[in-house]
Chains A and B, each alone.
Chain A
Amino acid sequence: MFISVTTSLLGGLAVSVRIFLLTLLFALPLGLVICFGLMSRFRVISVPCSLLVWIVRGTPLMLQLISFFYIPGIIGQNIWGGGEAGRTAATVVAFSLNYACYFAVIYKGGIQGVPVGQREAAQVLGLTRSQIFFRVTLLQMIKRIVHPMSNEIITLVKDTSLARIIAVYELTFTGYSFMKSDGIVWPMFYTGVFYLLFVGILTVLFGRLEKRLDYYQG
């Protein structure tokens, strides 16, 4: 029994990990785009971005997930199809947008934390705007946001369990299904071990990143 539960849960973990990685892949850069939008001098850009961030941060992720999955079907354009792949895709899209908005706000704080003098010095030396961002600001911003980002990313690990609401067989849903079909509770608790290990690995990785950025101060 233990072996078969473990195998099933590992399958669920694989789904959770896939959602997690794909969400990060899309949300990390998308967050930067939204961040630039928030910081834009042009109100036609900054106002819609603020509105988006307000809506996304102001409503439950579960509601957003349900909306992304069901609204296309309701308006007669079921882009997701009926299968597992479509449901996972809907999850990744909803999660990516949601996390991108949180990341955007963290990025913004990180960029604003870099002293203005850094950008001015680079500008006077003739660096272009993109060179200033990628060569001067970016690394200093990353150093400033390691801690808030590690919080968000660890939250994302556990938020993958929300995908259950649109019947994606991720880790929690797999554990829960044993309760329904076999009437046993312990697999549910067992899922916790997987989450802990997952987060443990992330914690170590973030620790390493922090160490790597320790070579300079300021």
Chain B
Amino acid sequence: MTDTILEVKSLRKRFGNNEVLRGITFSLRRGEVLVIIGSSGSGKTTLLRCLNFLETADEGEILVNGDSVFRAGEKMTARQLRESILHFGLVFQSFNLFPQYSVLRNVTLAPSLLETERLRDACRADPSRDFKAERRTMLADVNRRAEELIRTVGLGEKMKNYPFQLSGGQQQRVAIARALAMSPDILCFDEPTSALDPELTGEVLRVIRGLKNSDRTMIVVTHEMEFARGVADRVIYMADGVIEEEGTPEEVFGAPKSEKARAFLASSNLKG
């Protein structure tokens, strides 16, 4: 079990009287692609938001590489929280690119801020180092890596464009590059194609499939069943805040054991 990258233990989350997550436990191996399916309101998105610290779970624990990054009820300092956040990346349904920045700047913003901070701390500790000079090379590196990532998602021509000049599919590909720029251990996708026109979903799904080949650990929440089946190493079906069914794509899609999963899959097959 040394290659277990993520362990989630009995995660619970309630909003008022509504318990959205009712004890979620699963683990993930390095390089594994986990697809989470389920109808709206089953808690998929809340689960991703808890993993990315946009929501705070009421109970449970999250471990990355065997280290606890979250334990319900335990206070974290802002610094600890940030370290924990950086283990995860999230691609949103609605892209959420920063409209005032170019494609390139969207991708470089977060890494350049973080690297600058780290460099400043390092240079404070060691006065013989030249912060300004090192910063210049560091920023050039960040830029080079960002350009590389933008080319990987097929938008080398659009570096200097602003988000409003891009199609939804292109924006989502930039959002993927932006998330990758922070080199998260686990990259999460929250229905990455749900806000896209059908003819634009293909390009985004192709990029995600490409990431699978580069051995990234990913959690994908999606309604695209064909895609889920193709990309997943493992599938989780969620209903009413619990994991109703879990297994390989063949097991879950081919021969679902639970009644709910069978009904869900039957209805989504009808839709296409």
Could you tell me which A residues sit within 8 Å of B by CB distance? 115, 117-118, 120-129, 131, 135-136, 139-140, 143, 215-218
Chain A residues with CB under 8 A of B139: none
- B182 lies within 8 A of A126 (CB): yes
Interface flag for B92 (CB, 8 Å): yes
SS of A interface (majority)? helix
Interface centre among B52, B98, B164 (most CB of A within 10 A): B98
From A115, A126, A135, A215, B86 is in contact (CB under 8 Å) with A126
Q: Given contacts A120-B54, A218-B164, are A127 and B96 in contact (CB under 8 A)?
A: no
Q: What's the count of A-B pairs with C-beta under 8 Å?
A: 66
Chain A residues with CB under 8 A of B100: 139-140, 143, 216
- B53 lies within 8 A of A118 (CB): no
Chain A residues with CB under 8 A of B262: none
Chain B residues with CB under 8 A of A215: 162
- Chain B residues bordering chain A, tally (CB within 8 A): 28
What is the CA–CA distance of A198 and B68 in the complex, to the nearest angstrom?
62
From B96, B109, B113, B178, A117 is in contact (CB under 8 Å) with B96
- B182 lies within 8 A of A125 (CB): yes
Q: Which 4 A-B pairs rank lowest in CB-CB distance, beginning with the nearest?
A: A218-B99, A125-B110, A121-B96, A117-B96
What is the CA–CA distance of A82 and B35 in the complex, to the nearest angstrom?
76
Chain A residues with CB under 8 A of B54: 120, 123-124
- B113 lies within 8 A of A127 (CB): yes
From B52, B92, B110, A127 is in contact (CB under 8 Å) with B110
- A218 lies within 8 A of B163 (CB): yes
